[in-house]
Amino acid sequence: MALLELEKVEKLFFSRDSMTTAIKNISCAIDKGEFVSVIGPSGCGKSTLLSLISGLIHPTSGTIKLDGKEIKKPTPETGYMLQQDYLFPWLTIEQNITLGLKTMGKLTEETRKHSLYLLNELGLGDRANHYPNELSGGMRQRAALVRMLTSDPKLLLLDEPFSALDYQTKLKLEDLVFSTIKQHRKTAILVTHDIGEAIAMSDRIILLSHRPAQVIRIFNIPDELRNELPFQARNHPAFNGWFQDVWKELESLEQQI
Amino acid sequence: MNSKYEQLHKEYKNKLTREKRLIRLVQAGILVSFFALWEIAASRHWVDPLLFSSPSRVWNMFLIRIQDGSLLTHTSVTLFETILGFLLGTLLGTLLAAILWWSPFLSRVLDPYLVILNSMPKVALGPILIVGLGPGFASIIAMGALISVIITTIVVYNAFRNVDDNYVKVIRSFGAGKKQAFFSVIFPASYPTIISTLKVNVGLSWVGVIVGEYLVSKQGLGYMIIYGFQVFNFTMVMLSLLIIAVLATCMYQLVELLEKRLVTRHQS
Ligand SMILES: Nc1ncnc2c1ncn2[C@@H]1O[C@H](COP(=O)(O)OP(=O)(O)OP(=O)(O)O)[C@@H](O)[C@H]1O
Ligand SMILES: [Mg+2]
């Protein structure tokens, strides 16, 4: 059974003198353990789609089901990583990463230890008592990832988590996030602008149209690419062909305006 | 090579120290010459010592009033009223701001009233306070609080509203409700603003309390000023003014110290 099901989801934003259709008639299903990327032109409604899935906003029509249950409000089952890290500057890294547990009333000595273990896994073990402004951009992004993982969500929503980073850090973090997610057997949806990143990291790529967002095409990435670490996948002989395919499709979208 | 740079660094540091010393020296010089000039002007009758008193007279009165204990009573009364008014104004203002944040409907309803109350010169409400609360402590403290409560409400409410929505999204994505969002995000993120309103409120509370004492009191530094004025004892007026200056400065410095302690982490 699919972990996440979207059925005829539609989202309109209203203001006094205008009405924006951000999402129009999206239906799709995502299986447990899948890694799906969402790409599409700027402003097409990708972030809106993630917010809908997270439960922070509600669809105007249609339903979104997680594990067969309709999503009514944000649940700890879903972890949401925003485009920037949004670590709280007044809390230490340890306090930041245990924030979710604390909010859910699940902060015990055991879960705290586990959080610190995860922090250590992502190479920030010695930074627990630092404040976010003492960390580099890549470190902060990693800390934000730990913050999301500590509450042990089933579904991870990643909104362009690497777009603010330099290329090298980005490549390293892609590998790290990829292997962390596979290791913990999480389901993930990644929004990105970077075609290469989408191909290197995911099992499937969902291409969205201009606003209002609709599913234009779904690319199924072959096993030889999806089982590799992103960095290796980028160097795989098949990678370029896929890149061209996705790029052409995206380009033809751009021409439609 | 290395020692040359070290030498330069040393010279640079020396220059900084020298500058700082010079500034302190000039500051002290201004203070001393002010009092010296005042003393001389009074003793030579350049100004009327009956009106402007003189540092030595003020000092004498200070000693006498300390000995008979009356100065301590007056000072502590005023200080107590000011601190209470200050705390009350700040707490109430912050509380009101929280309520406004909680209910956007209420905040929109109350908006014009806040604007009116804020533009109103609060001390003009003095007589009404006295009628309502009686001529005593209560009115004076109310005045000290009233003068800062509305501006605190407005400033802190704006700070609450300006907290980046994405921080709230983070906490809401963990399933937090409005209350948790307020205490985990909105309030701590607004700390710096709240502390900086404290600094403004210290000054405002002094204004409120002194005016309050002008109007009703039988005790306190404001009372000493009015009384001294009425019986033509300007030494008493000057003494009160000096004490107020010292105390208000001390309170301000304390708040500033608090600010340094609390706010360092808040710049992201
Ligand atoms: N809260 C809102 N109120 C009104 N309109 C909104 C709101 N949020 C998003 N929109 C509109 O919906 C459309 C989609 O926005 P969204 O942020 O989902 O785009 P995006 O695909 O994530 O863009 P980008 O690639 O630049 O991040 C935009 O036209 C935006 O103006
Ligand atoms: Mg976006």
> Are B144 and B205 spatial neighbours (Cβ–Cβ below 8 Å)?
yes
| Residues A161 and A68 occupy one common structural domain | yes
| Residues A127 and A192 occupy one common structural domain | no
| Residues A49 and A133 occupy one common structural domain | no
| Residues B14 and B98 occupy one common structural domain | no
The domain spanning residue B214 has which CATH number? 1.10.3720.10
Take residue A238 and report the two structure tokens written for it.
């098949």
In a domain, A31, yes or no: yes
| Residues B98 and B225 occupy one common structural domain | yes
pLDDT of residue A48: 92
| Residues B122 and B18 occupy one common structural domain | no
Range of the domain at A109: 87-152
The ranges of chain A with pLDDT < 50 are none
pLDDT of residue A255: 76
Listed residues A98, A132, A152: the one ending a domain: A152
Label the pairing between strands A187-191 and A78-81. unpaired
Query: Which of A103, A115, A146, A154 should be substituted to probe chain B, the one whose Cβ sees the most B Cβ atoms within 10 Å?
Result: A103
Take residue A116 and report the two structure tokens written for it.
């610190």
Closest Cα partner for B223 from B214, B236, B232?
B214
pLDDT of residue A169: 82
Is any Cβ of chain A less than 8 angstroms from the Cβ of B163? no
| Residues A166 and A53 occupy one common structural domain | yes
Compute the distance between CA of residue B225 and CA of residue B265 in angstroms, rounded to an integer.
43
Listed residues A102, A127, A152: the one ending a domain: A152
Q: How many domains does chain A have?
A: 2
Compute the distance between CA of residue B253 and CA of residue B56 in angstroms, rounded to an integer.
28
| Residues B23 and B78 occupy one common structural domain | no
| Residues A98 and A161 occupy one common structural domain | no
pLDDT of residue B116: 93
Interface predicted TM-score (ipTM) over 0.90:
no
| Residues A244 and A132 occupy one common structural domain | no
Listed residues A103, A118, A152: the one ending a domain: A152
Summary mean pLDDT of chain B = 91
Q: How many domains does chain B have?
A: 2
| Residues B95 and B208 occupy one common structural domain | yes
Q: A13 CA distance to ligand 1 centroid (A)?
A: 9
pLDDT of residue B268: 47
| Residues A192 and A230 occupy one common structural domain | yes
In a domain, A82, yes or no: no
| Residues B161 and B261 occupy one common structural domain | yes
Q: B260 CA distance to ligand 2 centroid (A)?
A: 37
Q: What is the pLDDT along chain B (268 residues), one digit of tens a residue?
A: 678 888 999 999 999 999 999 999 999 999 999 999 999 999 998 888 888 889 999 999 999 999 998 899 999 999 999 999 999 999 999 999 999 999 999 999 999 999 999 998 988 888 888 899 888 889 999 999 999 999 999 999 999 999 999 999 999 999 888 999 999 999 999 988 888 888 889 999 999 999 999 988 788 999 999 999 998 888 999 999 999 999 999 999 999 888 888 776 665 4
Range of the domain at B143: 55-266
The CA-atom distances, in angstroms, between A88 and each of A81, A92, A186, B170 are: 14, 8, 25, 10
Compute the distance between CA of residue A195 and CA of residue A202 in angstroms, rounded to an integer.
11
In a domain, A122, yes or no: yes
Is any Cβ of chain A less than 8 angstroms from the Cβ of B189? yes
Compute the distance between CA of residue B188 and CA of residue A169 in angstroms, rounded to an integer.
31
Query: What values do phi and psi take at A157, rounded to 5?
Result: -110, 120
pLDDT of residue B267: 54
The domain spanning residue A203 has which CATH number? 3.40.50.300
| Residues A196 and A163 occupy one common structural domain | yes
Q: Which residues of chain B are within 8 Å of residue A84 when distances are taken between CB atoms?
A: 166
| Residues B165 and B60 occupy one common structural domain | yes
| Residues A188 and A135 occupy one common structural domain | no
| Residues A251 and A162 occupy one common structural domain | yes
> Are B234 and B53 spatial neighbours (Cβ–Cβ below 8 Å)?
yes
Residue identifier of the C-alpha nearest atom 30 of ligand 1:
A43
Is A103 close to B174, i.e. CB distance below 8 A?
Answer: yes
| Residues A174 and A73 occupy one common structural domain | yes
Cα dihedral: B170, B172, B176, B180 (round 10): 70
| Residues B128 and B229 occupy one common structural domain | yes
| Residues B158 and B34 occupy one common structural domain | no
